[in-house]
A and B are shown apart, each in its own frame.
Chain A
Amino acid sequence: MHIKTAFLTAAAVAFASPAGAADAPTDPQIAHIAYTAGNIDIAAAKQALARTHNRAIRSFAQEMMRDHKAVNAKALALVKKLQVTPQDNPTSQGLSKDARATLQRLSHLSGAKYDRAYIDNEVAYHKTVNGALEMVLIPSAKNAQLKSLLQTGLTLFREHQAHAEQVAKALK
């Protein structure tokens, strides 16, 4: 439980910029953050598929891999079309750092302990990313197409969060 809390705190700090604040992220930064957030979940799904035999967990991880790859491919196509270069920033760096630590921690777990840690982290991660999309990234986005893609992402990630919560609840 403390692991989840620690992650949530770190992620909340990473997404701290309120919409409309002077340090609100720019579109190139938002694109970078969204892409990074997707890649983090793809990496987590890859680890899950390599470590678990639980059918529900595998199915969920496959869903994460498939959907986040699709959204990131769309994001890449959009930034190319808009001729925007995603810009690295402290939020992306914070997310990546936390994700590396989480992957490292989970790499020492196996069986039911791994499954529980993975799915709890997925619930927490989607909750945090969804909050950030809703409160910071979508309101800060200037380009209409980027904003629309982020809104599609939010709809999708809410479904992911609900699915993760369902899997977590059913996990023995």
Chain B
Amino acid sequence: MTKRLRLCPLWAASAGALLLVSFPATAAPRTFTVVIDKLKFGPLPAGLRKGDAIVWVNRDILKHSATAADHSFDADLPAGAKVRTVIRHSGAIPFVCRYHPGMHGTLQVK
């Protein structure tokens, strides 16, 4: 019994090491917030990775959208709404408010 107890931490450590070797560590997806106010998209998050999420928050009194040019996300944002979208691929993703073409930006995804 004593011997088995002593071996347990060893087994656990070995299993952990095996997991580390077999599955390279991947960072957990993160959630960022982009605020829309006075017909402008606020600061865009730096260091975005595929799988991260963006919560778009519309603080204006008008309806907006955050619509990717490549259709990889499309958040329709009535006044005061919050909508979560997930980044599906890496690279530069231009987006626009489809109701106000003067509102636009580009997400840079690693």
Q: Which residues of A contact B (CB under 8 A)?
A: 63, 66-67, 70-71, 74, 152, 155-156, 159, 162-163, 166
Within 8 A of A (CB), among B60-75: 60-63
Chain A residues with CB under 8 Å of B38's CB are: 152, 155
Q: Chain B interface secondary structure, helix, strand, loop or mixed?
A: loop
Decide: B61 and A159 in contact? CB cutoff 8 A: no
Decide: A159 and B63 in contact? CB cutoff 8 A: no
Q: Which residues of B contact A (CB under 8 A)?
A: 38-39, 60-63, 79, 99-103
Decide: B102 and A156 in contact? CB cutoff 8 A: no
Chain B residues with CB under 8 Å of A70's CB are: 61-63, 79
Known: A70-B63, A74-B61. A155 touches B100 (CB 8 A): no
The 3 closest A-B pairs by CB, nearest first: A159-B102, A74-B61, A155-B38
Chain B residues with CB under 8 Å of A159's CB are: 39, 100, 102-103
Decide: B61 and A152 in contact? CB cutoff 8 A: yes
Which listed residue (A156, A162, A163) contacts B62, Cβ 8 A?
A: A156
Q: How far is the CA of A156 from the CA of B39 in the complex (A)?
A: 7
Q: How far is the CA of A162 from the CA of B99 in the complex (A)?
A: 13
Known: A155-B38, A159-B39. A63 touches B99 (CB 8 A): yes
Chain A residues with CB under 8 Å of B63's CB are: 66, 70
Which residue from chain B places its CB closest to the CB of A154 in the assembled complex? Answer: B38
Q: Which of B62, B79, B103 has the most CB of A within 10 A?
A: B62
7 contacts between A and B (CB under 8 A): A66-B99, A152-B38, A152-B60, A156-B62, A159-B102, A163-B100, A163-B102
Q: How far is the CA of A74 from the CA of B79 in the complex (A)?
A: 11
